[in-house]
Amino acid sequence: MAYNIDIVIPDLGDFADVEVIEILVKAGDRVAREDGLITLETDKAAMDVPAPENGVIESLTVQIGDTVSSGDVIGKMSPEISDTVVIKPAIAVPPTGETTVMATPVGEKPKSRGKQTLVVPDLGDFEDVEIIEVHVSPGDVIQIEDPIVTLETDKAAMDVPAVVAGRIDSVLVNTGDTVSEGSSLAIIDAVATEAAPQPTAAKAQPSASARPKTAPAPVTQAPPATAASLPAIDEAGFARAHASPSVRKLARELGVDLVQVTGSGLKTRIVHDDVKAFVKAILTGQTAAPAAGGLPKTPSIDFSKFGEIDVQPLTRIQKIAGPRLQASWVNLPHVTQHDLADITKLEAHRQKLKGLAKKRGIRLTPLAFIMKACILALKEYPKVNSSLADDGESLVFKKYYHLGFAADTEQGLVVPVIHDADQKNVYELATELGELSALARDSKLKAPQLQGASFTISSLGGIGGTSFTPIINAPEVAILGVSRSSMRPIWTGEKFVARLMLPLSFSYDHRVVDGAYAVRFTTYLSKLLTDFDSLLKAKK
């Protein structure tokens, strides 16, 4: 394209020095206008910075954790107007209307490049109309449809929008000037042609590809204007949903039954984002699409009837994690295999190594050893390190071993991932565990640090418990839950001895792993933990 434009942080209201918590695109990505580029989080809310234009991201100069303020340049993009913007037919119609008229560059047709004069289009019966507002200044980059000036006739105020995109070279009028049809408004350095040809029938109505010149062959049932294949909507419920008219319109456009959507606004008002999130969740499989009948609902109860209550919003992480957990719980047939591993020797050994490790700045936790053991067990039982293909017809075995581990943070549950864990020794694992946990607590994890796990461990042993049923981090097929180890009497065949036993709770997707395979996995894992020598020998 002709030039790059800066991507600028828009007006953030009262906020300054806002943290970047997510980067949604990278250089080279093609984006559409209004697509989110990065996510900022103020102490009030998270918000996306939208793309100013359709085009390709040239560069992004911020990173997660950076702070930005209104007006900061965060990168560059090259806008694409000529071949990607689909101009709505209505805009391409020659200047019309009492309230929408367009400035037409001098000359019969907008030309592709170079300086052009934007003029006042046909105003109907009006002449000497006053300019009540000038929207552009020299240097402004404007897009098609951006208003240049607002005119006020004695009937109505109307914006004169641009018909070409480009950079304003000079503005020829001031507020208070009067203009008529053909008056010059501004010189623009145009960057692209107006893309849309005259509206074609096909655009407005796919079913009617050409305007009939003669009587169409009489069809008894002409094709309907739209395919009437929207999902069934509970109309009675829709009519009662707590949603404004514009939200209802959006829901209709997307075919969303508002009855299925939980509102996040005050008194569960459904807002635009709720409708979008609902659709997104369905598209990404995070929420089961409302099947016929759907799931029975839990009763809704007015708790305030029974005593004082305090309503607090879910954290952002909870809102994201909730549907995913539910999707896994509902979609995967979970079975949990419990076992006890004798870690008496392992723990004694760890105690010995701990001091040394500490001197090197490493907190050598049991989890590092458990991870090492898991890697060996996963290699022996590769199904546990697999995923079911989307079509449910095949298994995807992963030749990599990226271990997720559940980290408890104030914001909620997050699962950082140690990549290529099989190539790291216990010290390295322990080091990375510490680092990622710290980042998680500070909400500073980057997207790659949260992605790609092939197996997950949820260790609650530091807190307590004897066993639990962890939910699989779908599309993984299994998760290992670890509870608190305790001294237990173990019968050796001759006598009871005190052994330090570690409870393991292994949840698996029964579609992929069957019971015998699962218990072999846990038995093998227990054995590895008990005969820990092999762990240490497995260098990397």
Partner 1 sequence: MATHSAQLVIIGSGPGGYTAAFRAADLGVDVVLVERWPVLGGICLNVGCIPSKALLHAAKVIDDAEAMAEHGVMFGKPKIDARKLRDWKNQVVDRLTGGIMQLAEQRKVRVINAVAKFESANLLQLNNGETIAFETCIIAAGSQPVMLPGMPDDPRIVDSTGALEIDPLPKRLLVVGGGIIGLELACVYAALGVEVSVVELMDSLMPGTDSDLLRPFQKIIKKRYESIMVSTKVTGMRATVPGIEVSFEGKNAPATGVYDRVLVAIGRRANGDQLDADKAGVKVSQHGIIAVDKQMRTNVSHIFAIGDLAGGPMLAHKASHEAKVAAEVVAGEKSYFDARSIPSVAYMDPEIAWVGLTEIEAKEKGVEYEKTRFPWAASGRALSLGRDEGFTKLLFDKKTGRVLGGAIVGPGAGDLIAEIGLAVEMGADAADIALTIHPHPTLSETIAFAAEAFEGTLTDLYMPKTRKR
Which residues does the annotation mark as catalytic?
510
97 part of the interface to partner 1, by CB under 8 A: yes
Nearest residue (CB) to partner 1, 220 versus 312: 220
Question: CB-wise, 98 or 380, nearer to partner 1?
Answer: 98
Q: How far is CA 112 from the centre of its chain?
A: 37
Our finding on whether 199 is near partner 1 (CB under 8 A) is: yes
Contact call for residues 195 and 85 (beta carbons, < 8 A) = yes
Residue 195: count other Cβ atoms within 10 Å of its Cβ. Answer: 16
Q: Does residue number 311 form part of the binding site for partner 1 (CB under 8 A)?
A: no
Whether the CA torsion 55, 56, 60, 64 is positive or negative: it is positive
Please report whether residue 308 would count as binding partner 1 according to CB under 8 A.
no
CB-based contact 103:182 (threshold 8 Å): no
Quick one: which of 413, 382, 342, 346 has its CA closest to 478?
A: 382
Q: For partner 1, which residue of 205, 315, 318, 394 counts as binding (CB under 8 A)?
A: 205
Distance CA 300, CA 170 (A): 62
Contact flag: residue 310 with partner 1 (CB under 8 A): no
Positions 98 through 127 that interact with partner 1 (CB under 8 A): 98, 124-125
- Of 27, 157, 225, 314, the one binding partner 1 by CB under 8 A: 225
Minimum gap (Å) between residue 223 Cβ and partner 1: 7
Binding mask 58-87 for partner 1 (x = CB under 8 A): ------------------------------
| Unique residue bearing structure tokens 């060996």 | 376
Residue corresponding to tokens 């369905």: 282
Alpha helical stretches, state H, 159-244: 201-204, 235-238
Sequence-ordered list of residues with C-beta below 8 angstroms from that of 43, at least 6 positions apart, any chain: none
Question: How are strands ordered across the β-sheet holding 46-50?
Answer: 46-50, 36-41, 18-23, 67-68
What gap in Å lies between CA 32 and CA 241, rounded to an integer?
A: 31
Least Cα distance to 131 among 183, 189, 94 occurs for: 183
Cβ neighbours for 127, distance < 8 A, ≥ 6 positions apart:
180, 181
The window from 92-100, 321-329, 356-364, 375-383 that contacts partner 1 (CB under 8 A) reads 92-100
Nearer to partner 1, 138 or 182 (CB): 182
By CB under 8 A, which span of 173-181, 234-242, 341-349, 528-536 interacts with partner 1? 234-242
Which residue among 27, 239, 330, 348 contacts partner 1 (CB under 8 A)? 239
Q: Which is nearer to partner 1, 92 or 457 (CB)?
A: 92
Backbone angles phi, psi at 246, to 5 degrees: -70, -35
**Shortest gap between Cβ of 256 and partner 1 (angstroms)?**
11
Segment contacting partner 1 by CB under 8 A, of 3-11, 95-103, 326-334, 421-429: 95-103
In contact, 506 and 337? CB cutoff 8 Å? yes
CB closer to partner 1 out of 102 and 406? 102
- 200 near partner 1 (CB under 8 A): yes
Interactions with partner 1, residue window 123-162 (CB under 8 A): 124-125
Count of chain residues binding partner 1 (CB under 8 A): 50
Joined tokens for residue 218: 């009489």
Q: Which of residues 262-281 bind partner 1 (CB under 8 A)?
A: 267, 269
Backbone angles phi, psi at 151, to 5 degrees: -105, 150
Residue 447 lies near partner 1 (rule: CB under 8 A): no
What is d(CA 258, CA 241) in angstroms, rounded to the nearest whole number? 6
Q: Which stretch binds partner 1 (CB under 8 A): 220-228, 402-410, 442-450, 509-517?
A: 220-228
Structure tokens at 177: 């000037």
136-144, 203-211, 499-507, 528-536 -> range binding partner 1 (CB under 8 A): 203-211
The residues that touch partner 1, with contacts defined as CB under 8 A, are: 88-90, 92-93, 96-98, 124-125, 199-201, 203-208, 211-216, 218-226, 228, 230, 235, 238-239, 242-245, 248-249, 252-253, 255, 267, 269
